Amino acid sequence: MQIIGIALSKGRILEEAAPLLARVGLMPREDPERSRKLVIATERRDVRLIVVRASDAPTYVQYGAAALGIAGHDVLAEHGGAGLYQPLDLGIARCRMVVAVQKGFDYKGAVRQGARLRVATKYVQTTRAHFAAKGVHVDLIRLYGSMELAPLVGLADAIVDLVSSGQTLKANGLSAVEEIMPVSARLIVNQAALKTKRAQLQPLIDAFARAVA
Ligand code: PRT
Ligand code: MG
């Protein structure tokens, strides 16, 4: 019996994945939000949770450090998906990736005039691809969080960030001017492991599919 790891992040993803994990029979044996352990046993002796940063989940699965994982489409788009199967949209942690600007900034006008936009984001690859496809010239400023701050202090003309309720944008005088993609979390699988451990992995993937349906 080989041990199967599931890479996932605490917070939003774990919170919304918890009911799915319960239905699949993978309830953690201790609360990952409270525990300082990063490897957490589940109801099943052959499956454990690997607690990672949200943006690191695809990397752990790509290199086979975890056979399975749960990651947002935002994070997967940025990672590129090398070495991963993405068999299932789990429909959790839903939001939208958008371009947002300060109220009063004429985004459409700036784009129309071919102005060079300064765009702050942690989604550098996705943002570059989005504006390249539109033929808009951008200077990308790489941030690691709190993107909403950048336009307020003159660091950037626009940001690319996630929005769910819209409260954070609103509270900072920003508004979404363009949607880049809808986002939800996917089940991800190491491609090589799916071949070598299919007897163990396929039933788990099927169980997740039933849990979602
Ligand atoms: O904290 P860390 O740097 O490790 O990573 P993280 O901040 O990306 O992790 P986490 O747990 O916050 O988010 C994990 C995943 O949840 C993301 O990769 C998305 O796939 C998904 N998700 C869904 C979201 C949101 N909704 C969301 N609203 N992730 C972040 N947000 C943030 C957004 O960036 C903005 O700052 O919430 C704020 C906006 O929320 P509203 O409700 O005010 O619009
Ligand atoms: Mg966070």
Q: Alpha-carbon distance 207 to 18, whole Å? A: 14
| Ligand number, closest to the Cα atom of 75 | 1
Q: Is the pLDDT of residue 211 over 90?
A: yes
Three-state SS at 25: coil
pTM: 0.96
Ligand 1 pocket check for 168: Cβ under 6 Å: yes
Q: How far is the CA of 162 from the centre of ligand 1 (A)?
A: 6
> Over the stretch 25-50, which tens digit does the pLDDT of each residue have?
999 999 999 999 999 999 999 999 99
Q: Which atom of ligand 1 lies at the shortest distance from residue 93's CA?
A: 23
Q: How far is the CA of 194 from the centre of ligand 2 (A)?
A: 30
Instruction: Retrieve residue 154's tokens.
Output: 């003159």
Q: Is the pLDDT of residue 61 over 90?
A: yes
DSSP 102-125: ETT--HHHHHHTTPPEEEEES-HH
Q: How far is the CA of 126 from the centre of ligand 1 (A)?
A: 16
Ligand 1 pocket check for 167: Cβ under 6 Å: yes
> Over the stretch 114-170, which tens digit does the pLDDT of each residue have?
999 999 999 999 999 999 999 999 999 999 999 999 999 999 999 999 999 999 999
Enumerate domains of the chain plus CATH numbers: 4-93+184-212 (3.40.190.10), 95-183 (3.40.190.10)
